[in-house]
Structure 1
Amino acid sequence: MEPLLLVSPVLSFVVAFILTRRWIPVAHRVGIVGKDMNKPGRPEVAEMGGVPVFAGVASGLMFYIAINSFVLNQRSLNLPLFAALSTIFMITIVGIIDDSLGWKIGLKQWHKPLLTIPAAVPMMAAGVGISIISLPLVGTIDLGLLYPLLIIPIGIVGASNGFNMLAGYNGLEAGMGVIILSAMSLYAYAMGDSWVAMIGISTIAALLAFLYFNWYPAKVFPGNTLTYMVGAIMACMAILGNMEKLALILFIPYYMDFILPLRAKMKTEAFGKVNEDGTLDQPYNKIYDVTHLFILIIKKIKRRVYEKDVTVGVILLEACIASVATITFLLLY
């Protein structure tokens, strides 16, 4: 890999860090704030932290495209890279709209997938990905036009909306993003798709810069702007790097987080029951969220559960899944 390309993640980190730090006071000044529901008194925290993160990711990827074009003369990669960047940008706009309306009002559940469908068009039109897939008990199938017209939009809409589900705890969304993207980037690089890995590495750099401000106690929230964007990036990487199966496995905690609240007809929230000393209890008698499960498990181990304990627990679960899945796929393929 050209050493100059490593400037891309550095640029992503620097831009995201500087803009996030400056965004926090601006958000408070103009009233773009949300309540930290897992803390006593529910203090107000800056919202829409995904905006500076997007700026960081976009800066890094644009620099990468420039180096590919004018230094390495690899212009053949420009089409899929710009297609991915266009999809990411359009998804981010949907997140900004959702955040602007507020989490209590927000977009209705059926609005979100509907509005994210157009964001898949750039990836569909670019003709990226491999339409030949291998299924257990079925064998190899060539999906042909079904791949760009059906699989790509389902993947982008599903990942962007799915990654938005497991959230609400300081550092959780960004931390999960770092783990999943690290696994995908490692696999892509090992398979010879270093340009796909660079998309993930640039995003990881921006997320790490954001985590400095988002870790417990958070000074800024990611908002749907970040979760939609990161989910879309994962989908784009899976399509461009032909690693859809790995991506599906990495989303196991999100499947759990979708299934658990179905028992309550999706009318529950992930937040814990906050005590005066800052500890958390289960908000319901039953488990309706992955975070509720970790509150229960950690409470049996150490009795007093804090928000950061839940965040670390969920991230460690994802890290275990990512490690096993990535090693298995590298050995198999």
Structure 2
Amino acid sequence: MEDREVLSKMNYPIYANVLMSVVSYFLTVRLIPKFRDMFIKGNLYGIDMNKKDGGKVPEALGVVTGCVFLITMFLFIPVPFTDYIFKNADFPHNEFVEMLAALLSICCMLLLGFADDVLDLRWRHKLLLPTIASLPLLMVYYVNFNSTLIIVPKPLRPWFGLSVDLWLLYYVYMGMLAVFCTNAINILAGVNGLEVGQSLVIAASISIFNLVELSGNVWKAHQFSLYFMLPYMATSLALFKHNWYPSQVFVGDTFCYLSGMTFAVVGILGHFSKTILLFFIPQIINFLYSIPQLFHLVPCPRHRLPRYNKETDKLDISVTVFKKSELNVLAKLCLWVFRTLKIVSWKEDKTGLVTCNNLTLINFILYMIGPTSEPSLTIILILIQIMSSVLAFMIRYPLASVFYDI
């Protein structure tokens, strides 16, 4: 009987959250078209360079989904605590503060993301802003948990023991996680529906992981994660409907920042900050592949999106051109590795002028399969995200049992 009561208390807020998420989906679907003309009049628009007509498309519509998501979460705040309120029980102030800190960090990134879309901030600001926005999370984590122990894999235990206390390094890691999540989605972009599509797959993967872990000892942490993931997926699905090819709206950096910080929030406060990286496998690959250009070892143009061919109505690799003699030793080493692995298009003339593809996962896929239509390319990239999530679950459960005592 007690188990049933606990299960009922555990499920009630989730049922309420599902209902509110459904409402937020239909509200967002209706709101986005109403804001399109308003954004264009305010000069918040872009030109879709992968279309023949290349008309004006409103930019930064992620702010609409972000606002609906936050309003839904604000209205949801009392729901998990109604039992404590009506029964005058000891109020769980630590859980309440966690939710407020999470919403504060997400709200900060929504504001900063919109500022980036309007003001076009520099890259150094894009690294600094998520770090600042993650500080409330880290403070709450320190006050409520302050657990910085990690379990050492079995093969390494003879040297390091059963566990290692990383102390300050663990907080540095969590801060860097917030920076990575917000920017990783942003740099894997450039075709209609990709930013929202990959984010939806990541959110769905996190939700499945939370549902599996609800029966475990730390079910409250995973329930907390679901509170955020369900309305996030609902509002993002509404945005995906308008952002899918041919895109009626662009999501902007606002959506990428919002998504990344939401994932970082649930990962840090849900106590699975290491597991969440498994759902970012394509983003990690894209980041590693992009390092020579991100760190300006190789010339990096402002836009690295694929090149559109008007005659075939297909996308092909976009390229960067540079003198081989102007590269430093580290750049030459990176490109030599890429060429040896045959993962880069490389053309060099007699004068040492090199033409190679821009170093993104999107261009790499086009390099492997050849010119492709935009919707087909987006589908391929989303399928890669889905297969990566399947791999992540294999690593998290069957493979982890080999290295850890689970």
Give TM-score, length-normalised by structure 1.
Answer: 0.89
> 1:133 aligns to what?
150
> 1:250 aligns to what?
279
Percent identity for Structure 1 against Structure 2:
25
* 1:266, distance to aligned residue in structure 2 (A): 5.6
What is the CA–CA distance in structure 2 between the aligned matches of 1:328 and 1:64, rounded to whole Å?
34
3-state SS of 2:163 partner: strand
What is the CA–CA distance in structure 1 between the aligned matches of 2:170 and 2:290, rounded to whole Å?
31
> Cα deviation per residue 1:148-170 (whole Å; 9 max; x = unaligned)?
4x233222122112221101110
Whether contact under 8 Å (1:12, 1:58) holds in the other structure is no
> 2:289 aligns to what?
260
Q: Which shows bigger deviation, 207-216 or 24-33?
A: 24-33
> 2:186 aligns to what?
164
Query: For residues 76-91 of structure 1, what are the structure 2 equivalents within 5 Å?
Result: 76=93, 77-91=95-109
Query: Residue 123 of structure 2: which of 96, 106, 109 is its match?
Result: 109
> 2:170 aligns to what?
147
What is the CA–CA distance in structure 2 between the aligned matches of 1:55 and 1:311, rounded to whole Å?
26
* 1:61, distance to aligned residue in structure 2 (A): 1.7
What is the CA–CA distance in structure 1 between the aligned matches of 2:233 and 2:377, rounded to whole Å?
21
Q: 1:78/1:12 Cα in 2 relative to 1: closer, same or farther (>3 Å)? A: farther
> 1:190 aligns to what?
212
Q: 1:236/1:183 Cα in 2 relative to 1: closer, same or farther (>3 Å)? A: same
What is the CA–CA distance in structure 2 between the aligned matches of 1:133 and 1:198, rounded to whole Å?
26
Whether contact under 8 Å (1:117, 1:157) holds in the other structure is yes
Query: Residue 179 of structure 1: which of 191, 201, 211 is its match?
Result: 201
3-state SS of 2:77 partner: helix
Amino acid at match of 1:170: N
Unpaired runs of 5+ in structure 1? none
What is the CA–CA distance in structure 2 between the aligned matches of 1:98 and 1:213, rounded to whole Å?
22
What is the CA–CA distance in structure 2 between the aligned matches of 1:20 and 1:72, rounded to whole Å?
37
Whether contact under 8 Å (1:8, 1:60) holds in the other structure is yes
> 2:386 aligns to what?
319
> 1:282 aligns to what?
317
* 1:146, distance to aligned residue in structure 2 (A): 4.5
Q: Which shows bigger deviation, 68-77 or 208-217?
A: 68-77
Runs of 4+ in 1 over 6 A off after TM superposition: none
> Cα deviation per residue 1:224-244 (whole Å; 9 max; x = unaligned)?
000011011111111122222
What is the CA–CA distance in structure 1 between the aligned matches of 2:33 and 2:53, rounded to whole Å?
24
3-state SS of 1:163 partner: helix
Whether contact under 8 Å (2:224, 2:270) holds in the other structure is no
Give TM-score, length-normalised by structure 2.
Answer: 0.74
* 1:65, distance to aligned residue in structure 2 (A): 1.5
Q: Which shows bigger deviation, 89-98 or 289-298?
A: 289-298
Amino acid at match of 2:240: L
* 1:313, distance to aligned residue in structure 2 (A): 0.9
Amino acid at match of 1:143: L
What is the CA–CA distance in structure 1 between the aligned matches of 2:381 and 2:106, rounded to whole Å?
26
Cα RMSD of the aligned pairs, angstroms, is 2.1
What is the CA–CA distance in structure 2 between the aligned matches of 1:133 and 1:262, rounded to whole Å?
28
Query: Residue 297 of structure 1: which of 364, 368, 372 is its match?
Result: 368
- Give the paired residue count: 324
* 1:247, distance to aligned residue in structure 2 (A): 1.8
| Residues 1:39 and 2:51 are matched in the alignment | yes
Amino acid at match of 1:267: C
